[in-house]
Structure formats: C-alpha cells, structure tokens
Structure 1
Amino acid sequence: MTRPTSCSDSQSQHPLRTTRRTALQAGAIGILGLGMNHLQGLREAQAAEGPAPTGKAKSCIFIFLSGGLAQHESFDMKPNAPENIRGEFRPIATRTPGLQICEHLPMLAQRSEQWALCRSLTHSSNEHSAAHHIMLTGHSDLPTGFSPNNPSRTDHPSIAAIAGRIVPPRNNLPSAAVIPERLVHNSGRVIPGQHAGAMGAVYDPWMVEASSFHNTSYGAFPEFSFDHQDRGKPDPRIFQAPQMQLPEGLGMRQISGRLELLQTLRTQQRQLAGFAETQQFDRLRQGAVSLLTDSRVHSALDVTNADEKSLERYGRNSFGWSLLMARRLVASGVRLVQVNLGNDETWDTHGNAFPHLKNNLFPPTDRAVSALLDDLQASGELDETLIVMAGEFGRTPQITLLKNAYKLPGRDHWGAVQSVWFAGGGIRGGTVVGESDAHGAYPSAQPVKPENFAATIYDALGIPATAVWHDAQERPHAIYHGQPIAGLT
C-alpha cells in the first residue's frame, strides 16, 4: 500500500511512489483549479486508505448556514419561556405528532415525516471563525497555531476534504465540491475550516464559485437580498454557471475546442516526463478532459437556465439555484456537496432578526429545501442521499438590542447548543434526538459534539470507523473522533 511521500524522499525510491508524489505536485499546479487527485486516474494510482466503504448513502448534501441559525426561531422553539427568550415567532404543528417548528417554515412542516432533528449539538466557541472551523471539520479542538484570520496548512481538514480524499469517486468526477462560493468575511479574509488543511492543497475540495463576493449584502439574491444593518447599498451580484478554472491566463472562453485544451495538458505532461509513466498520465489527462467537456457537469452548473417548473419549485434566487445545483451534481456523480446557503455570516442575526428571518431567510430556505426533498423522494434517491443542515453555532437564549448597529433586536453567538437537521440516507423521518433546556441554552438530554456530527456523515457515506489518512511523513490520522449520532437511523 503506497502513501504520499515527503518532499525529502530519495529519488531512488520505488517508481510508483515517485510517480504518485509527482502527480500530487502536478495537482498543485492548478489544472482546473482543483487537485489532480480529484481525477479518476490519480484515484486509480493511489491505494485505498482503508476498507471498502459499505454505507447506505451514495452521496451527501451538507447545507451550511454561515452565521448561526437561531434555534429558538427555527427548530427548537420555547413558547412557554419568558418573552425575552421565546421571541416573536410562534410554533406550528408538523405532520409528525408532537413535533412543532417555526410558523415561517410551513413547507418543511408538511414534510416532517422525511426529516429528523438533533436539538443538542454543543461546542465551546462563540467566535465565528473558530466555530466555522469546528463545525466544518468536525473537531471541537482548535489546532496548534490556529488563526481566525488566516487559514493554515496546520488546520484540521474539512469534512468535504476528508470525503473528497477517502470516498471513491463516481463517473470520473471529484468526490467533493463546495458551492456556490467560498466563505469570505466582509473584510475580505477567507474563513478557516473550508479546506484540506494539514492534508495539503492537493486535497482541497473542488470550489465552484457561481456567486461573487459582496461585503454588505446577504441572503438569497436577487429576490431576498438584505443587509443586516440596512445600510442601503445595492447588490449587483449575478448568479451564473462558473467557468472551469485552468492554468493562469487560459479561461474557458479562450479555449476553441478539445484540441487546445489537450495541448495545454500535454505541456504539463512534458514537464513531468522524467517522472510520470505515460500510461498513468494519460489516465489523468483523460480525466481532466472529461471534467471540462462532460455535458453532465455543464448541465448541473447551468441552473439559472433550468426548466420553468424546476425554477418555480426551487426559487429564482441563489438559495434555490444552489440547492438545484447540488441536486444535479450528486446525480452526476459528486459524492459530497457542501452548499453554503448564503455568504459568510448571512445567518448572523444579531439585530433586525425577526424581519430578516421572516421576510428574507426563511421563505427561500423553506422552498428550496422542500423542493430538494420532493425531487429526491420522487426519483427514489432520498434514501441514498444524506442531507444535513447546520450552522457554526446557535444563538443566545436572551434577545438583545445593539443600539449602535441595529434598529431592532436579535440574538448573539452561542456555541453551547444548536439544532441540526437531517434527512435521507437512512435517517428516520419524524425523529427528534436530544433536548435543550427550558430556555434553549444548554443540552438537557443526549448532548452531541461536532465529532458525532462528522461521524454521522462519514458513516452514511460508508467510510469505515478504522479509516485513516496519511500525511507526507506517512503518519496516520484518524478520521473518526466520535460515534455517529445515536437514534437518527
């Protein structure tokens, strides 16, 4: 069994090791804007990192709500709590007896037999960047030298990166993708926890950037765009099928056909001629060409031109388009798609919380997630597609008003408890796991950790509990750091 080798390895090593190391270096060059490891050929060149997966789910859609969804306003309402805790919204019944959720999520309420809740996920951080890293990687601890302002190659690898490296690909496509944008703070700094971290850049998940950065406007543009502080700045963003990234200076619009692309790949082949076996590199090249020219990929990404019925069901906005894209990507063969439902801190409802949730955040979310459930149920794929939805933390029990920044009240950051939503992939619909206390402040029954959350995804995708990944020095790193959440399946 071969593993990635360090840059100091002797050139006299086994030829297959040299080839693989060089192929990984080739991935760093940036063909397609993603590592060469994502392509089928390199997957064939590397040995399996553990026993063959046996999980029920063929794929996973990880819906991430950056900013932190308020549990009191969504899936864990406290109607009997004091007014400054229960808030303005009221609960409604779902199709599951005894289960109530927010009145502004009526479509999901009608589909409760298809989804489950964990109301007791807990961790220790109330800071955005640290909590992003915790939830996106499934590690409650922060790595040595962690910086909230600078993603590092000492960070823990993201759940998406782990899936991308370990879960076998289908249809010659990357095993993992993140859509429709990277999470970037309004200051321009990239949020840590999104990448492969210590595994190395070649294992970074495929970033599909269909949504441009905007530093004051949030939500499901163009229909439901808003500014947390109502500063009145316009939001000119356009959601569009992204261009596949190629080496610098060569965009898709500059490619006249397969021949020109093939020539670019041949140039890199010549650069590696002293190391790569021709047959192996041909497989890599064929995988790259397949990714760029495969009509399934282009169709999956071109969601704004979908049929009218699909657009009506999902919504003509970035939330609807993103979940439609995720649905198409998993149908095409991508194994895990992380959907950032809104740009960085879209769900950070410190103030103006109730009108922004009621008018801008819940309507497109309710519609798009419900459409995703309906699609997968109708096609018979729901049972083999795990869907999870979580933010980096919950919100404080107490409602507060930050007068210097907001006109109306909201809730602050709260890592101590949040509600996490699950569907498909063997999840028992209508199930509620764990409880929070009477004020929605702390777990009162079956507390679960981010490690359990990550393990639930890995287990559904069939990653064995004994699986490890190896770093450049051949050191093994465990993938599981907790058991899957009990009671969901």
Structure 2
Amino acid sequence: MINLSRRKQLQSCCAGFGSLALYSLLAEESRAAMKGMPQGGTPLPHFPAKAKRVIFMFMKGGPSHMDTFDYKPQLQKDDGKPLPFDKPRVQFAPTGDLLGSPWKFKKYGQSGIAVSELFPNVAECVDDLCIINSMHGSNPAHGGASMKLHTGSDVFVRPSMGAWVSYGLGTENENLPGFITICPTLAHGGTQNWGSGFLPANFAGTPLGNASLSSEEARVKYVKNARLSLETQRMQLDLTQEFNREFLKTTGPDSTLDARIKSFELAFRMQTEMPAALDLSQETAKTQQQYGIDQEKTADFGRQCLMARRFVERGVRFVQVTHSNTEVQWDQHGGLKKGHEQNAAEVDKPIAGLLRDLKARGLLDETLVVWGGEFGRTPTCQGATRDGRDHNPEGFTMWMAGGGVKAGIQYGATDEYGYYATENKVHIHDMHATILHLMGLDHLRLTYRHAGRDFRLTDVAGKVVDGIIA
C-alpha cells in the first residue's frame, strides 16, 4: 500500500480532473476540426476534381505585368507624361511620370495573345495559358503581400495554401510528403509561407534547400542511414512508435504528437522513394535540354521545374518552386531593364519546358500550373534614370495552365496604363477559392476549428472565378 500525503492526494486529484477536462475539450476540438470533411474524416474531394495536383511557380519580388503579359499600347504612347488619374492613397514609395515598356510585344498562337519579348519560349505555349490580367491584393510591402498570396492573410500566422490542399485531399503517395517546396525564400514571411499554421504539423510543406542554395543542393537531409539497415531502423521505429502511442493514450488527442508519429513514419518510408525522385540523371539528355539544365543561365531553375514534374507524377499534391535570385529578384525599383531581362532569361525556357513536358506525358490536364509574384509594378517610373517601377498590388497578372482552366484566354483587365484592375477583378482570395475548386474542394466547407472559430484559406471572403474554368 502506498501512503500519500494530503498534499500529494490533492495534486493527483487536481491533475486527474484537469486531464479529464482537457481530454474532453481536445476531443471536441478534434471533432470540430473535421467540419466540412467527409464523414469519418477521410480526405476526399467535395465534388469531382478537375485537377489532382498543383505546381506553383513563385516569382519573388513582383514581376512587372505591363512588361510581360499585359500589353498596354496607350502606356507606350504616353511615355513620359503624367498619370492622368490619382495614384493609390497608400503607396510603397513615390513615383514619377508614366514609363513605357522597354520591350516589344508580339501576338502568338491561335489565340493571338500579345506576349513580351522577355518570354519567347513561354509565348509559344500561350494557347495553353489562362492569363488573369485583373489580379489585385491589399498590401504594397513584400512581407505582407507574400504572406497574403501564400496563406490568405498578410498579418496573422495562417496555414499555407499547400497545407490546406494537403489537409483536404491527403496524399496519393505515402512514401513522399503531400506538399514540397523547392528552394523557398527565407525572407518576407519565410517558413510561414509554407507552414501548416494551426493545422496539424504533418500538413506543412517539406522544404528542399532554400533560396540561398543552388537547386543542386536541394535535398532532404539524412534521407539515408549509412550505419543501419532498413530492417534495424524499422525495429527502432516500431519501438519508438509504441512508446508514442502509449503516451497518446494517456494524454488523449494531441495533434502535435500525432503529427510527430506520422512524420517518423514518413521519414522512414521516404528512404525508398525520395532519392529516386531527386535523381535527375534518370532523365534523358533531350529532356534535360528541354528544361535548360544544359545551360548555366537556366540550369538552376530548370532543375527545380524538372524536380516538380518528377514529384507530381509520383503523386505529390502540391509542389512549389521559387525563383528568387538573391542579387536581383524581380524587385526592380531601379535597373528594370537589366534585372527583368536577367530574371526572365533564367526562367523562360524552364517554364516552357515544364509545360511541354507535362502536356507530352498527359499530365497537364490533371496538373494545375500557377505562375506569379506577390504583386505587380507601377506603370509610373521610379528613380532619376527612369529605369525602375514601384510595388503595385492594385492590378497585376498571374497565369494558370492545365488542371481544368480555359486555355488560350486573357481574363479581366487593368486600366489602359496597367495601374488598377478594372474589369472582372480577381482578388487573392478569389484565386485561392478557384484553386481549391479546381482540386474538388469547396473553400466554404474546407474549414478547421481553431481558437473558438472555423477558419478557412479564404477567411470570410473569396468567390470562385467561373469565367476561367473549362
């Protein structure tokens, strides 16, 4: 018989009662978290999906829309003149008069869409593109705008869209993560841009390298154990998981511990598939040339795009590739001509190579490709040399391809100079709602209970852009 002091008895009772209350609260939260999910919590689409997977190509810094995919003849005519209407009340920095594009535009394909000479290879794929010229956001700063694009919020820590997709649909390959981000930027939101927020941790993106490393170094650390065989590792893991599950019985529902258990299992299984997925030597020389891996200028982003294709064909739900040249990026407040030419030259061939490769393999129809940055640029100049543009969230361009969107169209429009979205405006929330819809997910029903309320990627806004759905 164990003798307990009065104090010990009270401590034990209090802890016990507290545990019972906590268990009840956590159980209720766990059940509430499944609201909007199919009965039993099994991840399934809410309705038939048009796309199975997403490749998001993030151009960090904000490409200039009127210099790439939003041709503005009137801007060319009025180069050097004052803007004939008011600038936004909130601006990132002062700007001067109108600045025409330094690059020529040409119409391509059966659609006859005008594309800048900055993107000659992507222009040849224009009949596969759904170009949204009427994007708009709310934040003129990189950090807030990047977080808004990735998570739907520019001020709070929220789950990223890749995490939401993984949460809603699960994985098609238990040996690989459901969400992978290749060479992500560590600035302007950093890990929050691919994090899981308040969703269980196993839905966060798995980063391969970061923006300061070459894509050749984009690897999963410690994916192979040189000392122990798979059989021995399995025995170790089984024992560890037994301890974890026993502990889980005493604590009740614990999303952090549950995510850790799942992460251990995934880490073990990744040993069999991740090295092969990252082995680009398995690709033919012709394929590598198609992505520009044989050329120094395009090799880095080309490897990212080829890895993305290898991941989606293995069932990874959401893959993000990031172009974030640490010297230039797309943020040309000055040196616009040199900077945009360098950036476009690095990504143009790899992007076109990815689109053609997906199409040739029959993957484009079920893979939604999304391209864009956190905002656009102003049609007014910045700097005394008239060779720069400021941030512009009021109107900019993103494009999609494959995955159930209409091909060879331009949707929406900015004004005649490209400052404000004016026709069929598409907010960031609308884009998120549309991506989820194409994946078979109703953005109004894909919710998670946290801190006493139901959250979703689109917050309390967002509408599906029916005009771009095939």
Query: How high is the TM-score relative to the length of structure 2?
Result: 0.78
SS at match of 2:56: strand
Distance 2:204 2:40 in 1: 17
Alpha carbons 1:50, 1:467 under 8 Å: kept: no
Note the 1:78-227 alignment, pairs <5 A: 78-81=72-75, 82-83=78-79, 84-139=98-153, 142=154, 146=155, 154-174=156-176, 176-185=178-187, 190=190, 192-199=192-199, 201-209=201-209, 211=210, 213=212
Structure 2 counterpart of 1:232 = none
Identity %: 25
Q: Which runs of 5+ in 2 are unaligned?
A: 1-17, 32-36, 80-97, 250-257, 294-298
Aligned counterparts, 1:57-456, within 5 A: 57-81=51-75, 82-83=78-79, 84-139=98-153, 142=154, 146=155, 154-174=156-176, 176-185=178-187, 190=190, 192-199=192-199, 201-209=201-209, 211=210, 213=212, 237=214, 239-244=216-221, 252=224, 254-275=226-247, 287-294=266-273, 297-303=274-280, 306-316=283-293, 317-342=299-324, 346-358=329-341, 360-401=342-383, 409-456=387-434
Aligned length: 409
Structure with more of its chain in helix, by fraction: 2
For residue 484 of structure 1, the aligned residue among 454, 461, 464 is 464
Question: Which is worse superposed, 462-471 or 46-55?
Answer: 46-55
Once the two structures are superposed, what CA deviation does each residue of 1:136-158 show, in whole Å capped at 9, x if it has no partner?
Answer: 1234xx4xxx3xxxxxxx51211
What CA distance in whole angstroms lies between the structure 2 residues aligned with 1:108 and 1:183? 24
| Counterparts of 1:482 and 1:462, CA distance in 2 | 16
Match for 1:310: what amino acid? Answer: T
Distance 1:418 1:71, change over 3 A: same
CA RMSD between the two structures: 3.3
What is the rounded CA distance, in whole Å, between the counterparts of 1:475 and 1:411 in structure 2? 41
| Structure 1 residues 238 and 425: CA distance shift in structure 2, 3 A | closer
Indicate conservation of the 8 Å contact 1:137/1:159, yes or no.
Answer: yes
Q: Give the greater-gyration-radius structure (CA).
A: 2
What letter matches 2:170 in structure 1?
P
Give the SS at the match of 2:301: helix
C-alpha change, 1:375 and 1:292, in structure 2 (3 Å) is same
Paired with 2:39 and 2:111, the residues of 1 have a C-alpha distance of: 52
Kindly state the Cα deviation for residue 307 of structure 1 after the two structures are TM-superposed. Answer: 2.8
**CA distance in structure 1 between the aligned counterparts of 2:133 and 2:182, rounded to whole angstroms:** 27
Shift of 1:400: 1.8
Query: d(CA) in 2 for partners of 1:213 and 1:115?
Result: 30
* The 10-residue stretch of structure 1 (336-345 or 420-429) with the greater mean CA deviation from structure 2: 336-345
Partners of 2:433 and 2:442 within 8 A in 1: no
Kept in 1: contact 2:151–2:457 (CA 8 A): no
Q: Could you tell me the TM-score, scaled by structure 1's length? A: 0.75
What SS is found at the alignment partner of 2:320?
strand
